[in-house]
Amino acid sequence: MNLVIDAGNTSVKTAVFQNNSLLEKQNFQKENFSEEFQKILKKYPQINKSIISSVTSGENEMISEVKKAFPVLELNNSTPVPFENRYASPETLGKDRIALVAAAVNSFPGKNALIIDAGTCITYDIKTAEEIYLGGAISPGLNMRFKSLHKFTANLPLVIPKPEAELIGNTTQTSILSGIINGIKMELKGTVESYSAQFEDLTVIFTGGDSQILSIPLKNSIFANSNFLLEGLNFILEFNNTQ
């Protein structure tokens, strides 16, 4: 039984897996980790290994606590992964992107797949049918665009995102909605079309917190569940367990 830990700047996501089956997941503040970890140990004494992915390097206390209970795989850019990584600067590749590509390899083996993660940033990652990761793109996310218009101008208001926007805005608020919502959707559509022209039978995977807001009808598109990244981390842990 596996414990997957995804540590962000202020919060921690945990998931318990039995092989590939997700049994339970939680999301809590970092300062509550020790208390919540003990609860997990009590509920699932069968856990015998763990993987930790962190956006920061200062998680020594957390890692040490988990290591007292069972072996821990600390995900980094030298961790063996179930795909060939051809990113030119692998030391700068985000751990979330590594996990998402691993999830695509696990869920869509032998297929060209484009993973679009609509979160703080919008990331695009392509893996081939031969399980080769080539790279992708990073673009400002939905809320980042709304906040930047408000922060870097004197008079533009902070607008709340909505799933739909008219093409022609007739107020400042609706004009911002049109520019950002329609702009991202056109970016998504154009990017997918460009990748589809280069990669045959491309499977497009949408994930991330804003994936539903930014949904657009596309051929071969699949909306991944919210556990996609956690599933990728679990797959990396299982892959390393067989090495």
Rounded to the nearest angstrom, the gap between the alpha carbon of residue 5 and the centroid of all alpha carbons in its chain is 13
Is residue 96 annotated as a catalytic residue, yes or no?
yes
C-alpha distances out from residue 125 to 68, 112, 113, 195, Å: 35, 11, 8, 10
Q: Is 125 annotated as a binding residue?
A: no
Q: Is 97 annotated as a binding residue?
A: yes
Q: Is 13 annotated as a binding residue?
A: yes
Q: Is 145 annotated as a binding residue?
A: no
Q: Is 117 annotated as a binding residue?
A: yes
Q: Quickly list DSSP for 118-174.
A: ESSEEEEEEE-TT-EEEEEEEEE-HHHHHHHHHHTSSS---PPP-S---SS-SSHHH
Amino acid (one-letter) located at 15 = A
Q: Is 135 annotated as a binding residue?
A: no
Q: Is 153 annotated as a binding residue?
A: no
Catalytic residue among 96, 125, 201, 210: 96
CA Rg, the chain, in Å?
19
Annotated binding site for substrate: 87, 94-97, 172
Residues making up the annotated binding site for ATP are 6-13, 120
Known binding-site residues equal 6-13, 87, 94-97, 117, 120, 172
Q: Which residues are annotated as a binding site for K(+)?
A: 117
**Residues with catalytic roles:** 96
